[in-house]
């Protein structure tokens, strides 16, 4: 169990301090990087379907404006509090820096249980929250750009952009006030699966590093690796999907109602449909139910992907975790105590603020699309296809041989929006993994990958602050 006075923000600060020792920045600058610049805590009334007035507690925190806009999701959860939003906003700053996305960090939260409200009530809450942000200048394509997070998705983002646009008529770039929108409302193809795909790309890159795998006693590559996923929400679902599609075996999936185990692998889509039909992931055909949901975290496996909420692995259960690699798909799933235990046990923890950066990376692509007012691929797709067709015809004429229809389609295909988004994400995750690993390798004193990731982030944000010259 977590201590009663546990502070998530403090745990982020602890990780920061641990890494700051490996950087050259002066104390004052480090203090500025760590601090949350603006905290907006609000309460507003909403009339519920039964006529009752409920006072809603909500937050938006802008951790850093070293680059603008600030960026980060909005979560709907009863666990929302100022400390949590501050921690998550800080992680966004570091996350954006690591993946070279030119934003400061932000985060929002509304303290509600989305399952306890009708969609009409949720719409009213979301719209009111947005207008509160507009009133205080806490939202805008150049100020602060929210996105989905735990308990929110495309639907909520559509309400946000609509509310914003009705309050700011004629603002030409207004679609860029929020990301994670439906494609019909200015969203980008590939955003929905982005975080899960980024998790996969990140872990695949780590698994492709022979020295590291040898140290962990694993073979290189993701093929055949046993994976356990906690959470069948958007991130967990897509992580499981990409691992399965690339030859890994997803042996267990956990949700809040329980966990299941299936030696020969779980198909996440079948499980999703089963849950939809029965209301639970339990009793999935061919699988065994585990006694408790958290038992999944302690199964023997190669890769454990906590893709639900924070602090699920702590001092209590960490000693029983058997995975060789833990990929933090959620934000803050490990407490510093758990981290310490894994470092000692030689378990590789691939840290959240880099591993789950796929969401914000593709949000960046969506924002760029909104500012440029043109779909990716629109200008070049046809040109590429015509050129590829021409090159292939020339080769066929010169060699006197013909390729198969399937090959022809593959070679001639010009990139669509989703192709470009996926490849931009792949490039981003590979580059970020290598940058962090280079820092770790260059300094053997750095105890773990999280600290190396923080060093990477601190150096980038530090450079940015110092080059701004804002300290008279």
Residue numbers at the binding site for ligand GLU (CB under 6 A): 71-73, 147-149, 179, 331, 356, 359-360, 363
Exactly one of 67, 95, 107, 181 is catalytic; name it.
107
Name the minimum Å distance from CB 203 to ligand GLU: 17
Name the minimum Å distance from CB 425 to ligand GLU: 12
DSSP class of residue 374?
S
Closest CB to ligand GLU among 284 and 354?
354
Name the minimum Å distance from CB 148 to ligand GLU: 6
Q: What DSSP string runs through 30-48?
A: HHHHHS--EEEEEEEEEE-
Closest CB to ligand GLU among 193 and 298?
193
Nearest to 322 by CA among 294, 350, 349, 303: 303
Name the minimum Å distance from CB 284 to ligand GLU: 28
Write the CA distances from 145 to 96, 108, 169, 174, 393, integer angstroms. 13, 10, 18, 10, 47
Closest CB to ligand GLU among 197 and 251?
197
Closest CB to ligand GLU among 104 and 148?
148
Name the minimum Å distance from CB 365 to ligand GLU: 10
Closest CB to ligand GLU among 186 and 359?
359
Q: Are 239 and 199 contacting, i.e. CB atoms less than 8 angstroms apart?
A: yes
CA end-to-end span of the chain: 46
In 10 A of CB 102, how many CB atoms?
13
Indicate if 292 belongs to the active site.
Answer: no
| Residue 110 dihedral angles phi and psi, to the nearest 5° | -120, 125
DSSP element (H, E) containing 199: helix 194-207
In 10 A of CB 420, how many CB atoms?
19
Helix (H, G, I), strand (E, B) or coil at 59: strand
Name the minimum Å distance from CB 69 to ligand GLU: 10
Closest CB to ligand GLU among 202 and 265?
202
Q: Are 83 and 135 contacting, i.e. CB atoms less than 8 angstroms apart?
A: no
Q: Are 369 and 153 contacting, i.e. CB atoms less than 8 angstroms apart?
A: no
Q: Are 176 and 367 contacting, i.e. CB atoms less than 8 angstroms apart?
A: yes
Distance CA 328, CA 342 (A): 13
Distance CA 426, CA 405 (A): 28
Closest CB to ligand GLU among 252 and 331?
331
In 10 A of CB 378, how many CB atoms?
10
Position closest to ligand GLU via CB: 73
Name the minimum Å distance from CB 356 to ligand GLU: 6
Catalytic residue list: 107
């Amino acid at each position: 169990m977590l201590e009663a006075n546990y502070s998530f923000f403090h745990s982020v600060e602890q990780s920061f301090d641990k890494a700051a020792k490996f950087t050259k920045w002066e104390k004052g600058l480090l203090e500025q990087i760590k601090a949350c610049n603006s905290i907006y805590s609000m309460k507003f009334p909403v009339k519920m379907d039964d006529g009752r007035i409920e006072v809603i507690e909500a937050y938006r925190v802008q951790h850093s404006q070293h680059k603008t806009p600030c960026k980060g999701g909005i979560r709907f959860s009863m666990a929302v509090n100022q400390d949590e939003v501050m921690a998550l906003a800080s992680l966004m700053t570091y996350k954006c820096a690591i993946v070279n996305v030119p934003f400061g960090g932000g985060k929002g939260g509304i303290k509600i249980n989305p399952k306890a409200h009708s969609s009409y009530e949720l719409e009213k809450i979301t719209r009111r929250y947005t207008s509160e942000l507009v009133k205080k200048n806490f939202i805008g394509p150049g100020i602060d750009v929210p996105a989905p997070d735990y308990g929110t998705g495309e639907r909520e983002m559509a309400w946000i952009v609509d509310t914003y646009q009705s309050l700011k008529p004629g603002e030409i770039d207004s679609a860029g006030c929020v990301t994670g929108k439906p494609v019909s409302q200015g969203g980008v193809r590939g955003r929905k699966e982005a975080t899960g795909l980024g998790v996969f790309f990140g872990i695949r890159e780590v698994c492709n590093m022979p020295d590291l795998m040898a140290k962990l006693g694993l073979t290189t590559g993701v093929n055949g690796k046993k994976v356990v996923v906690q959470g069948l929400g958007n991130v967990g679902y897509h992580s499981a999907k990409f691992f399965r599609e690339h030859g890994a075996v997803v042996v267990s999936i956990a949700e809040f109602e329980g966990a299941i185990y299936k030696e020969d692998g779980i198909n996440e889509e079948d499980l999703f449909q089963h849950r939809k039909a029965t209301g639970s992931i339990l009793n999935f055909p061919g699988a065994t139910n585990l006694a408790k949901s958290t038992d999944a975290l302690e199964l023997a496996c190669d890769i454990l992907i906590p893709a639900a909420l924070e602090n699920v692995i702590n001092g209590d259960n960490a000693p029983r975790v058997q995975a060789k690699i833990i990929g933090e798909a959620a934000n803050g799933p490990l407490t510093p105590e758990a981290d310490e235990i894994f470092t000692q046990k030689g378990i590789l923890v691939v840290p959240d603020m880099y591993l789950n950066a796929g969401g914000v990376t593709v949000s960046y692509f969506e924002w760029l699309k909104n500012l440029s007012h043109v779909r990716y691929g629109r200008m070049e797709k046809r040109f590429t296809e015509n050129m590829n067709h021409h090159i292939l015809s020339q080769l066929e004429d010169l060699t006197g041989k013909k390729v198969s229809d399937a090959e022809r389609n593959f070679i001639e295909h010009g990139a669509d929006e989703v192709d470009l988004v996926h490849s931009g994400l792949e490039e981003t995750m590979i580059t970020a993994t290598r940058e962090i690993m280079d820092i770790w390798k260059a300094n053997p004193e750095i105890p773990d990958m999280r600290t190396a990731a923080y060093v990477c982030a601190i150096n980038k944000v530090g450079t940015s602050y110092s080059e701004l010259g804002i300290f008279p």
